[in-house]
Chain A
Amino acid sequence: MTDSQSPQTGSLGGAERRPPPPPPGRSYNWREALAPSLISLISIVVVFGALAWVITSAEQWPRIKLQFFNIDAMIAAFPRVLQGFWINMRIWLIVLVCILVLGIALAVIRSLRAPWFAPFRLMVILYIDLFRGLPALLLVLLFGFGIPALNLPGLPSSSLFWGAVAMMLSYSAYVCEIYRSGIDAVHEGQWAAAKSLGLTEWQTMIYAVLPQAVRNVMPAMMNIVVALQKDVALLSIIGVRDAVREAQIYTASTFNYSSLIVAAGLFLLATIPMARLADYVTRRDRARRLQVGG
C-alpha cells in the first residue's frame, strides 16, 4: 500500500501531468482469493470428519452399516425400487398437469367479481375448505378403498386411479390458493386500466391479470411441484407399488433397511434438480423484477 501511494502523491505534487497508475489492489491477489475457500474447505473437512468419526465409532455402527448401508442388499433391491420409482414419476407428472389446470380454473372462478358468479365462488370456497382441511393421507384412504367398494358401474376400481384422484383434489386446493394469492397481488390499477380499455371482466382476467399472477407465484408453485413429487408415496398405503412400497417390501422380507436408502437416493436424484430449477427460476424472476423496478 505504502509504496504504491508514494508515486501518486508525487504525481499530484509534480508539474507534469502523467496518467495515474492503475489503482492498487486491482491485480489478482491469489492469497486473498484463496484464503476464504481454503478456510471453508478445512472447516468442512473438520466438521464432517468429526461427525463421521462420531457416527462410525458408535458401538452399534457395524450393525447399522450392515442393516442400512449394505451394498449387496442395495443391489438386490435396486431393480424393484427403480421400477416403483418409475410409477412415482408417472403419477407425479399426470397429477401435476391436472392440479395446475384445475387449480387455475378454481382460482379464476374464486377471483371473479361479478355478482352472478357468487354461487360458483361459494362452491370453490367449500371445495377448498373441504380438501385443504383434510389430511392427504385420509383422502387417499377414503378414495382408494371407499369409492371402489361402492362398485358403481362405469367407474374404474383401480387403486392407482382413485389414489391419483385424491392427490389431485387435495393438491389442487392448495394450488388454487397459491394462484389466488398471485391474482390478489396484481395491482388494482391493472383491473381499472383494463376496464378503461373496454375489456370485460373475463377478458381482464385472462389477458391482463392471469399472466402477471402466474409470474408472481412461480417460486411458490415450484415448491408445490417438489412436495407433490414426494407425496405420491402416500399412494403406497392403498396397494400401489411405488418406490417406497417396493423398498418396504424388501425391508419386511429381509429385515434389511438398505432398500429404503436406495429409495431415498432416487427421490433425491429427482428432487434436488427440481430444487435447483426452483432457485434458478426465482433468481431470474427477481433479477427481472429489480430491472423493472429500476
Chain B
Amino acid sequence: MSERTAFWRGSIVLLSLLTTVFTQAFAEERTTMDPRLVTPGKLTVGTGDPVYPPWMLNNDPASGEGFENGLVYELAAEMGFDADDVVWVGQTFDQAIAPGNKPYDFAIQQISVTEARKQIVSFSRVYFQPEKAVLALPGNTLENATSYDELRDARWGATIGTTDNDYLVNVLGVTEAAIYNEQVDVFQAMRAGQIDGTLISLPTALYVTAVQVPEANIVALLPPDENDRGHGLLFEYNNPLVEWVDDALTAVIDRGVVEDLKAEFLIADPDLPIITE
C-alpha cells in the first residue's frame, strides 16, 4: 500500500511540476522574463556604432536623447522594461544584415523595410517614413534643377546600405551613382568635385547641413519611393518576438509618441522646394 501511495504521490508531484513549468513558460511570455528574449529580464537592442544625430544624439544611445533611442525607451516602457534594463549592442550595417544568430532582440538603425529584405530578416511595422532630400554645394548645377530630367544629368553619390541608391535607380533612373562606404566619404567626394550631389533622408540631411557640412545646402525635397516602406525594427528571421514588439510599437505610435519625437528631433524647413516629376 505504502509503495502505491508513494507512486501516486510521486506522479502527482511530477505532473504538477510539469504543469507549473509549462504554464510558467507561457505565463512568462510577453513579460520582461520572456524566455524568448536574448537575455530574459533585459531588452537587448542593436544599433549603429557610432550612432548619428538626429537619430541618436551625442553618440550615446543610453541617454535616450534622439529620435530612435527615444522611441526605444518608450517601447521598452510599454513592454514593461525599466530604462535600466535596456542593453545596447553596437554593430555595423554589415553586421546587421549578416546571416546567423543576432546578439540582440531587435535592431534600430534607420533600416528601411523592403520586400527583398523581408526574405532574409523580419521587420516590425514601420515607425517612420522619411522624405528624401537633395544635398549639393553652392554653385552646383543641382541648385537650379526643377525636374527629374535635370536631376538625372548630375553626377550622384550615395552611401552603401541606405535605400538612397535604390531611390536613385528606381525613381530617378540614375544607375551609375558612385557608392561610398561612409557618409563622410560622400561629402568628401562632393568637396573634391567628384560628384555633384547626394540623396539622403531628410532628417539626416538637416543635421548634416547644420553641423557636419555647413557649406552644403538642401536644394530640393523628393517624394517617398513606394517600394521603400520606411524604417522598421530589424529582427532575426522569424523571431517569435515580432508580434509582441509590434503590439507595443502600435500602442506607442497610437499614443502619438512618434509624432512628438518627430517634432522634437526631426523638424523640416517648410520652405524647401519639392520636385515630384
Query: Nearest Cβ distance between residue A106 and chain B, in whole angstroms?
Result: 29
A256 CB within 8 Å of chain B: yes
> B211 an interface residue at 8 Å Cβ cutoff?
no
CB-CB < 8 A to B192: which residues of A?
A: 145, 148-149, 151, 157, 159
- Tell me if A241 and B179 are in contact (CB < 8 A): yes
Query: A248: shortest Cβ distance to chain B, in Å?
Result: 6
Task: Check A67–B120 contact: CB distance below 8 A.
Answer: yes
Task: State in angstroms the CA–CA spacing of A162 and B166 once bound together.
Answer: 27
A237–B180 Cα gap in the complex (Å)?
A: 6
B178 engages A159 (CB within 8 Å)? yes
**A256 to B195 alpha-carbon distance, docked (Å):** 28
Contact between B165 and A145, CB atoms less than 8 A apart:
no
Complex CA–CA separation, A148 to B189 (angstroms): 8
Are A249's CB and B189's CB within 8 A? no
User: In this assembly, does A86 line the interface, its C-beta being within 8 Å of a C-beta of chain B?
Assistant: no
CB pair A149 B188 closer than 8 Å: yes
The answer to whether A63 has its CB under 8 Å from any CB of chain B is yes
Residue of B179, B194, B237 touching A245 (CB-CB under 8 A): B179
- Answer whether residue A257 sits at the interface, using C-beta atoms and an 8 A cutoff: yes
Interface residue? A280 (CB, 8 A) = no
Nearest-Cβ distance from residue B99 to partner chain A, whole angstroms: 5
Q: Which residues of B contact A149 (CB under 8 A)?
A: 188, 191-192
How many residues of chain B have a CB within 8 Å of chain A?
31
List the one stretch of B70-78, B111-119, B263-271 in contact with chain A: B111-119
Residues of B within 8 A of A240 (CB): 178
Of the candidates B119, B181, B185, B194, the one whose C-beta lies within 8 Å of that of A157 is: B194
Q: Are A249 and B160 in contact (CB under 8 A)?
A: yes
* Chain A residues numbered 225-276 whose CB sits less than 8 Å from any CB in chain B: 237-241, 245, 248-249, 251-257
In the assembled complex, A158 has its CB within 8 A of some CB on chain B: yes
List, in ascending order, chain B residues with CB within 8 A of A237's CB.
180-181, 185
Chain A CB within 8 A of B157 CB: yes
A66 at the binding interface (Cβ < 8 Å): yes
Contacts of B176 in A (CB 8 A): 241
CA distance A253 to B163 in the complex (A): 7
What 0/1 pattern do residues 31 to 70 of A give for CB contact below 8 A with B? 0000000000000000000000000000010011011100
Contact with A along B186-203 (1 / 0, CB 8 A): 001101111100000000
Taken residue by residue from 145 to 183, chain A's Cβ proximity to chain B (1 for < 8 Å, 0 otherwise) reads as 100110100000111000000000000000000000000
Known contacts: A149-B188, A157-B192, A241-B176. The answer to whether A251 contacts B97 by CB under 8 A is yes
Task: Assess whether A239 is in contact with B120, with CB atoms less than 8 Å apart.
Answer: no
A134 CB to nearest chain B CB (Å)? 19
Query: CA of A257 to CA of B166 in the docked complex: distance in angstroms?
Result: 17
Residues in A whose Cβ lies below 8 Å from that of B188: 145, 149
Contact with A along B81-100 (1 / 0, CB 8 A): 00000000000010001011
Q: Are A239 and B157 in contact (CB under 8 A)?
A: yes
Nearest-CB residue, chain B, relative to A252: B161
Min C-beta distance of A238 to chain B, whole Å: 8
Smallest CB–CB gap between A172 and chain B, Å?
24
Contact of B120 among A60, A151, A245, A254 (CB under 8 A): A254
Q: Please list the residues of chain A having a beta carbon within 8 angstroms of any beta carbon in chain B.
A: 60, 63-64, 66-68, 145, 148-149, 151, 157-159, 237-241, 245, 248-249, 251-257
Residues of B near any A CB (own CB < 8 A): 93, 97, 99-100, 114, 116-117, 119-121, 157, 160-163, 165-166, 176, 178-181, 185, 188-189, 191-195, 237
Cβ contacts A to B, 12 pairs, < 8 Å: A60-B99, A66-B119, A67-B120, A151-B193, A238-B189, A239-B157, A239-B189, A241-B179, A245-B179, A252-B160, A252-B165, A253-B166
